[in-house]
Structure 1
Amino acid sequence: MTLPEATGLYRRYAKTQTTLDLRVMQTTDLHAHIMAYDYLADRPSDRTGLVRLASLIRSARAEQANTILLDTGDFLQGTILGDVHAMSRKAGTNDTHPMIAAMNSLGYDAGTLGNHDFNYGLPFLVDTLQQAEFPVVCANVARKLGDTATNDATLLPPWTILARRLRDQCGNWQDLKIGIIGVLPPQTEIWERAHLEGHLHTRDMLKAARGHLPALRAAGADIVILLSHSGIAPDTGMRRTENAALQLAALCDVDAVLCGHQHQMFPGPDFEGIAGVDTKAGTLHGKPAVMAGFWGSHLGVIDLKLAKDHNGWQIISHRSNLRPICDPQADAGQGRALVADDGTVAALTLDAHHRTLTHMRRLVGHSSKPLHSFFALVADDPSLQLVAEAQRVRVAKILEGTTYADLPLLSAVAPFKAGGLAGPTHFTDVPAGPLCIRNLADLYLFPNRLSAVTVTGTALMDWLEHAAGQFCLIRKGKPDQMLRDASFPCHNFDVICGLRYTIDPFVPPRFAPDGRLQHPNSRRVRDITYDNRPVQPDQTYVVATNNYRANGGGFASAVAMTEIRLDRPQGRGSETIRAVLADHISRHSVITPSTTPVWRFVSAPGTTALFDSAPAAAEALHDLTGVRIESAGPGPNGFMRFRLYF
């Protein structure tokens, strides 16, 4: 590949003939998507899978003599296959993790961790990483924090140096030392508190990188690539920020940044308008960067041209790009594969794939009606309410005879599959009839654990206010305004069952999507009642929820809550909500989903808003009650657009 001649600097070095090309390839947020298969729908998928990405990796290597392959975390959790392997390890088997086996076969050079890699516990993670034939580094997770980053007792090496002998443009061998350092969001310590409390601590990513980079350079690194399981966001000056890739790129000892965590694409338009970000050139503060989507959707590629003089090696030009495994626009938005499966990765994963199919097809119960999330972000939803009821029943049983038993008990749930970046097929869609394990995973995507918290009425109001931030500011009397803020994650739209309330999107949101208070005098959520009585600011409530939310996940400091220690009967350990849901359904044998009124929008005649959902949602409009929604024709990227009347 011919790189742009970035200045007279390039021409000067070209004359020295001591230049070489290095291709840096990135995967990120694979989330145990190895096979090109949707386990929740029980059908092949052209949109995901390391098995497809592997074909791109091999072709990208064939194009360039000098390459390295790196991963930026969240590779162990995210599919039923990952769950099944974790369960088998707990049962005493010692098989190599199928994701690690695939990565070993592809010759990964290094990687770092993401927050979800801790989902199955610290012992599981440590044992799994021992199977990796490549170094995994992380500079800001420590068993014990010291007075400075360099004195931390880090869980993993904070950095490593890849010593490579590479061909220069004249065909001569050159020695290059590539420094690799990794970081992840410090909030991991909070999100995974049940696993990590008392065992691991996190440091601010910038402080950790600043502390360790001098030693990495002193050890002889010619260039430094920072593996950031962290996304791109404006610099707000906040400490311990979650998405700090832009700020990390500004560090003088960093030459390139591989980003992740946000499940977005860079270069690309997702980050337009942020100071220091060039979405076309693919740079952060002028440094080459890339973010390769999620679930194996893209291969990130940074092509570097390096030159050597008496001061050593330096980057004189660069180009960042993404290579997709699928054309998402093809076949009416269903997507079409651009590459075939890699035979080696497929063969390595086949046994794990078959075990997963057997597990996910196990019968749990029956449903008399379909369950879907097509309208879960805009109206009361029976699939969410089924999960909420299972949580509520279990927590009520556990708290019997305790001081919490007489407090009002609520249950908070959010839709995990509601379209967005994952496309028009990413919705819960369970037909009436048999319910299998895969259907429960479709209803509840993550292996979160059941938790309960106490909150005051004031905190409860703020909880709902944060959820109401998913809606754009709507103008009364105007037709067809876009309803949803695309930057607001659907999994943070909590619905709190047991309450009744109204949402007013005609006033600004009180909280920003990251939990920052942005309009202190604004209140979108009104008429909040429990048992037909207004919620009182000083009243205490118990809320059944998941461990991620109980540990502050998604809220930052927006909502004050205190977690209740749930002592399970018969010595039961920490229960996943999926297991709670399975028990709830099996005890009823046949469930009949119904919708209880929880929330609605305020009325505003003459006002409409648009939102996107699955094409199949058009046939489910008759399921809605208490809200007027109609089809508005095809939407972008294979979605169907709908019109909501206020």
Structure 2
Amino acid sequence: MLKNRPFAPEFERGQTSLRILATTDLHMWMLGYDYYRDQPDTGHSLAQLAPLIDERRNEVPNACLFDNGDLLQGTPMADILVEDWRMDETRANPVMQTLTQMGYDAATLGNHDFNFGLPYLDAAVQTAGFPYVCANALRHRAEHPDADQPYLPPYTLLTRSLRMADGSDQDIRIGVIGFVPPQITAWDRQHLSGRIQTRSIIDSARFHVPRLKNAGADIIVALCHSGLGRSLDDRGQENAGLALATVPNIDAFVLGHVHRTFPDSSYDGYPGVDPSKGTICGKPAVMPGFWGSHLGIIDLTLEHAGDRWSITQNQSRVEPVTAAGQTTPTTAQPLAARVQKSMQAAHDRTLDLIRSPVGRLSGRLHSYFGEIGPTLVECLISAAKQAKCRELITQRSIPDLPILCMTSPFKSGGLSGPTFYTDIPAGPLALHHVAEMYIYPNTLMVIRQTGAQVLDLLERSAALFTQIKAGDQDVPLVSSLRPHYEIDWMHGLSYTLNLEAQAGANRVKDVIHQSEPIDPEADYIVATNNYRVAVAQVPIAPEDILYEAPMMMRDVLCDYLKSHQDYAPIRQTSVRFQPFSEHTTCRLSIGPAARDLIDQDPAMSVIGETPSGFLDVRYNLPAVENAAANRRVGT
């Protein structure tokens, strides 16, 4: 909803400005409340961002507001809204109603918006009072894009009246086109197989952008739920922002998906990228964080001559949620109050749900140190998967094979910040604790793999670690730009990681199953989740998928904890780093709440605090001369 305001005096006759405001990856952080910890959290959310949105919208004569996807999935409130809809499919989606009230002009979809299936997504989008667009998700993919049947309109054309420098109003047609990672058909196969197909982001842009331009778009804004990436080539990549910038006639970009910010100095050195000005191949772009942490702002200076508009200047930036009220006294609290009011009923039902009792813990359960070994949370997840597999072997004629369980450190700091950990004290367990242990709506999958395939999985995960040579000091163990959830640990095996070897060069050593070396020819059951199967680089034959059903991993955990009413957190894995020939250390970034655990571990010491609020921790890697130092990975 573009609003006209009094104009700044520095513009000349025939000129005006247009401010593009954008959110992305809100993941149902609608209100300032952390449902995982059952406590208020004012560090992010759409309600906390609302004052900043209104401030930045009110200080310019012309502004548009867009959302870039991954809106409908994330917090336990998302689960509540899905259940509400299943009980009454005529119920309007309060999230879409909220964004409509806030004056969003258009939006696109993110990959996680497909997590609950198409019927729910269809109903939610139909509730929105603004257009949803997506150019590369298709109900049917034809041989040529001309004959494709799109899932949503590929683009929309917004006609808006801009306030010019001389006080007059002039119409402009803003084309908005949307894109989603084409990998959605693999990631949500159980929902989308036979229903949705995709084209690559770049192929879709090359086809639709000229048509949007010919339809009369004066400027074109791309809402691309995709990261920046480093490649200008298009091979259907997940993060295609850089390649998209090479498509003619796109004037501005909103990116997302990877939960990072742009402009940001971390993108220095990327081809064609100017992190200070916020441009990609000379075109302005923003990537506004996640969970309502930042607002993306692109300011365009426009000139109108005859029947043509041209962009003469541009500037991009992202502002953190805490920036509201720093420049002018905020007048936007009513907007935040409207967000609170529209989501209050869902909030109250969510609180009732997350406080449901599940069981008890007899000791502290945490997910710290997820980059150096399976955390206590992962060990619990593995135990629950193993129990469910035994049940399935009995009930569903699944082959009685050795059971291995694959887990990843979901809440383990990293790009999501120094408080992004699970840390549950001994005592009663409620449903919100289970949601905190397993934050994604993944479903259980049980597959058959040969020992050789298991070794390949381990090797690909080991490639994420930095190569460290004997004698190195304080080398980061894992790149700060790599999400920790990409690490896979395999429970049910003991094995050694050789960090001195190059990635992909037999880093995984001495893989033992029940006192014997793993047999490359033998078959094993691997309990994992639908996402991990979807992103597997080696296709899995249909006959090797032993169990695939919409059983949420959270339900697997709940069943296990209800049958283990006084669960004792215990480490059940045996993964080691191969000892180094001389004293060698690496560097870890750990949440400050783990300081007591760090102090108790003689292999760790705190160096200081990072600018982002982590503890900068030195970790002494095992040395050959100290046989006892060949300790299990983890703490």
For 2:66, the equivalent position in structure 1 comes to 70
Task: Give 2:480's aligned amino acid.
Answer: A
Q: Does 1:313 align with 2:309?
A: yes
The answer to whether the 8 Å contact 2:446/2:547 transfers is no
Deviation at 1:151, TM superposition (A): 1.9
- Structure 1 residue 532 corresponds to structure 2 residue 515: yes
Task: Give the letter aligned to residue 609 of structure 1.
Answer: C
Q: Tell me the secondary structure at the aligned position of residue 379 of structure 1.
A: coil
User: Between Structure 1 and Structure 2, how many residues are aligned?
Assistant: 605
Q: Which residue of 2 aligns with 1:582?
A: 558
Matched, 1:593 2:569: yes
SS at match of 1:446: coil
CA distance in 2, matches of 1:349, 1:200: 31
Q: Matched residue of 2:248: which SS?
A: coil
Q: Percent identity?
A: 38
| Residue number in structure 2 paired with 1:206 | 202
What residue ranges of structure 2 are gaps of 5+ in the alignment?
A: 1-9, 325-329, 622-635
Quote the offset at 1:231 in angstroms: 0.8
Residues 561 and 639 of structure 1: CA distance in aligned 2, closer, same or farther (over 3 Å) = farther
Measured against aligned partners, the alpha-carbon deviations of 1:236-267 in whole angstroms (never above 9, x if no partner) come to 63511001111111111211111011111111
Question: Which residue of 291, 294, 311 maps to 2:290?
Answer: 294
SS of match in other structure, 1:579: helix
- 1:129–1:136 Cα contact (<8 Å) kept: yes
SS of equivalent residue, structure 1 residue 585 = helix
Structure 1 residue corresponding to 2:34, chosen from 19, 23, 38: 38
Partner of 2:184: 188
Partners of 1:485 and 1:185 lie apart in 2 by 23
Q: Deviations over 1:344-368 (max 9, x none)?
A: 1111111111111111111100010
Contact 2:174 2:217 (C-alpha < 8 Å) held by counterparts: yes
Which has the larger displacement, 481-490 or 93-102? 93-102
**2 CA distance for matches of 1:303 and 1:313?**
15
Instruction: Give, in whole Å, the separation in 1 of the partners of 2:59 and 2:43.
Output: 24
Which residue number in structure 2 is paired with residue 261 of structure 1?
257
Superposition deviation, residue 583 in structure 1: 0.6
Distance 1:309 1:563 in 2: 64
Give the equivalent residue in structure 1 for 2:78.
82
Give the deviation of 1:226 after TM superposition: 0.6
Equivalent residues of 2:393, 2:400 under 8 A apart: no
Which of 357, 367, 373 is the matching residue for 1:373? 367
Q: Which residue of 2 aligns with 1:492?
A: 486
Amino acid at match of 1:548: Y
Equivalent pair of 1:466/1:558 in contact (CA under 8 Å):
no
- Indicate the residue corresponding to 2:102 in structure 1: 106
Partner residue of 1:635?
610
- The letter for the 1-side match of 2:441 is P
1:612 pairs with 2:589 = yes
Among 430, 438, 459, which residue is 2:453 paired with?
A: 459
The match for 1:523 is: 506
Distance 1:224 1:635 in 2: 40
Separation (CA, whole Å) in 1 of partners of 2:332 and 2:217: 36
Verify: 1:140 aligned to 2:117, yes or no. Answer: no
Partner in structure 2 of residue 385 of structure 1: 379
Aligned to 2:619: 644
Distance in 2 (CA, whole Å) between partners of 1:238 and 1:487 is: 22
Q: Say which SS state the counterpart of residue 583 (structure 2) adopts.
A: coil
CA distance in 2, matches of 1:362, 1:425: 24
CA deviation digits over 1:281-319, x for unaligned, max 9?
Answer: 100100011110000001101011111224611111111
Q: Is the contact made by 1:56 and 1:325 (CA closer than 8 Å) also made in structure 2?
A: yes
Judge conservation of contact 2:18–2:300 (CA < 8 Å) in 1. yes
Bigger mean CA offset, 375-384 vs 581-590: 375-384
The answer for the alignment partner of 2:347 in structure 1 is 353
Matched with 2:5 is none
What is the Cα deviation at residue 567 of structure 1? 6.0
Letter of the 2:559 partner, please give it. D
Compute the TM-score of the two structures, normalised by the length of structure 2. Answer: 0.91
Structure 1 residue 640 displacement after superposition: 1.4
In the alignment, structure 1 residue 423 sits paired with structure 2 residue 417: yes
CA distance in 2, matches of 1:199, 1:435: 39
> Residue by residue, what CA displacement relative to the aligned partner does 1:501-530 show, whole Å, maximum 9, x if unpaired?
1111222222xxxxxxxxxxx121111111
**Corresponding residue number in structure 1 for 2:6:** none
How is 1:108-123 mapped onto 2 (pairs within 5 angstroms)?
Answer: 108-123=104-119
CA contact (8 A) 1:264 1:270 kept: no
How does the TM-score come out when normalised to structure 1? 0.90
Match of 2:429 in 1: 435
Which of 267, 277, 280 is equivalent to 2:273?
277
Q: What's the offset of the Cα at 1:471?
A: 1.8
Larger CA deviation: 416-425 vs 66-75: 416-425
* Alignment-derived partner of residue 515 in structure 1: none
Q: Which amino acid aligns with 2:450?
A: T
Give the letter aligned to residue 93 of structure 2: H
Indicate the residue corresponding to 1:128 in structure 2: 124
What is the letter of the counterpart of residue 590 of structure 2?
Answer: S
* Residues 629 and 338 of structure 1, relative CA distance in 2, 3 Å threshold: farther
Superposed displacement of residue 150, structure 1: 3.0
Give, as a single letter, the amino acid of the residue that structure 1 aligns with 2:20. V
Rounded to whole Å, the distance in 2 between the matches of 1:430 and 1:128 is: 34
Shift, 1:86, TM fit:
1.2
SS of equivalent to 1:470: coil
Whole-angstrom distance in 2 between the partners of 1:181 and 1:112: 8
Aligned counterparts of 2:539 and 2:422: Cα–Cα separation in 1: 28
- Name the counterpart of 1:245: 241
Report the AA paired with residue 592 of structure 1: A
CA-to-partner distance for each residue in 1:563-604, whole Å, 9 max, x for gaps?
Answer: 755569xxxx62100011001100121111211232121112
Bigger mean CA deviation after superposition, 559-568 or 367-376: 559-568
Query: Which amino acid letter does the alignment assign opposite residue 181 of structure 2?
Result: P
Q: CA deviation at 1:108?
A: 0.5
Contact 2:17 2:300 in 1 (8 A): yes
- What letter matches 1:134 in structure 2? F
**Following TM superposition, by how much is the alpha carbon of 1:560 offset from its aligned partner in structure 2, in angstroms?**
5.5
* Pairing of 1:17-56 with structure 2 (within 5 A): 17-56=13-52
Contact 2:376 2:570 in 1 (8 A): yes
Distance in 2 separating the partners of 1:576 and 1:412: 16
* Deviation sequence 1:75-108 (CA, Å, 0-9, x none): 0001011111112222336433232122011010
**What secondary structure is seen at the aligned counterpart in 1 of 2:500?**
coil
**Structure 1: distance between partners of 2:22 and 2:323:** 19
Aligned position for 1:331 = none
Amino acid of the structure 1 residue aligned with 2:524: Y
Change (3 A) 1:151 1:247: same
RMSD of aligned Cα (Å) = 2.2
Query: Unpaired segments of 5 or more residues in structure 1?
Result: 1-12, 329-336, 511-521
- What whole-Å deviation, never above 9, does each CA across 1:364-394 have from its counterpart, x for those lacking one? 0001011101112213422111101111211
1:558 Cα offset (Å): 5.5
